[in-house]
Homo-oligomer: A and B are copies of this chain.
Amino acid sequence: VSDSVGEVPARRGRPGHDRAAVLQRAIELFNRQGYDATSMGDLGRELGVTKSAIYHHVSSKEHLLAEALDQALDGLTAAVTEARDASAGTSAYARLRELVGHSVQVLVTHQSAVTLLLRVRGNSPVELAALERRRWIDDQIADLVAEAMAEGSLRDDLSPQLVSRLLFGMVNSLVEWYRSDGPVDATELSAAVCRLAFEGLERPLRSARPQES
């Protein structure tokens, strides 16, 4: 039928199912050939529907981009908010370490949406709004790093901004190579990133510091 989308058959009773599949295919197409270079006609061809049928599912290309970026940003914002608002008595160190691990999980779960987010350069109001949300997240992370330095659990010979950029530069770089069907699962990956970042690559000393509770 004319409104079926690729291999995902349109089901009149479940429009949400189609919608999520359309969004996912759009994100992958944007990542493959660039958002600006992708037309609604291209997306129609990708989905196996006519350009006019695509508007049955989607109001505009920019609306799809906004939804895709929100998918990535909502996950990261939730992780940051949780780290910021954790119950009193949890050290900033523990909350930062938890945030790094949680961010790796978000990134693996929404890898293609995060890939798209990381390529946004601010060419439209939707992209500018996404960059604004990224900046808010970056500021929250730098604040948490500064708090962990102030409580004495992180080295303070580097600036909080530099530390948060290097730390999340490492986290974000995962989108370039991570394969969820590869040898490393998301839980292992989270743990590996945290060990490298917090404990470092040098062989741990025998009499290590007491474990964080």
Chain A residues within CB distance 8 Å of chain B: 33-34, 36-37, 93, 118, 152-159, 162-163, 165-167, 169-170, 172-174, 176-177, 184, 189, 192-193, 195-205, 209
Contact = CB atoms under 8 A, between A and B. Distances in A.
Contacts of A93: 202
Given A200-B197, A209-B202, A169 B174 contact: yes
A147 to B, nearest CB: 13
A173 B162 contact: no
Contact of A155 (B118, B156, B198, B204): B204
Contact of A152 (B34, B162, B203, B205): B203
Contacts of A193: 166
B209 A205 contact: yes
Contact of A202 (B36, B154, B157, B189): B154
B166 A196 contact: yes
Contacts of A36: 33-34, 37
Contacts of A172: 169, 173
Nearest to A178: B165
Contacts of A163: 196, 201
30 contacts: A33-B36, A34-B37, A36-B37, A93-B202, A153-B203, A154-B201, A155-B195, A155-B203, A156-B203, A158-B192, A158-B195, A162-B184, A163-B196, A163-B201, A165-B177, A166-B173, A167-B196, A167-B201, A169-B169, A169-B170, A169-B174, A169-B177, A170-B173, A173-B173, A196-B197, A197-B200, A198-B201, A199-B202, A200-B201, A205-B205
Contacts of A157: 195
Contact of A176 (B156, B169, B192, B200): B169
A201 B37 CA distance: 41
Nearest to A183: B159
Given A34-B36, A34-B37, A37-B37, A201 B155 contact: yes
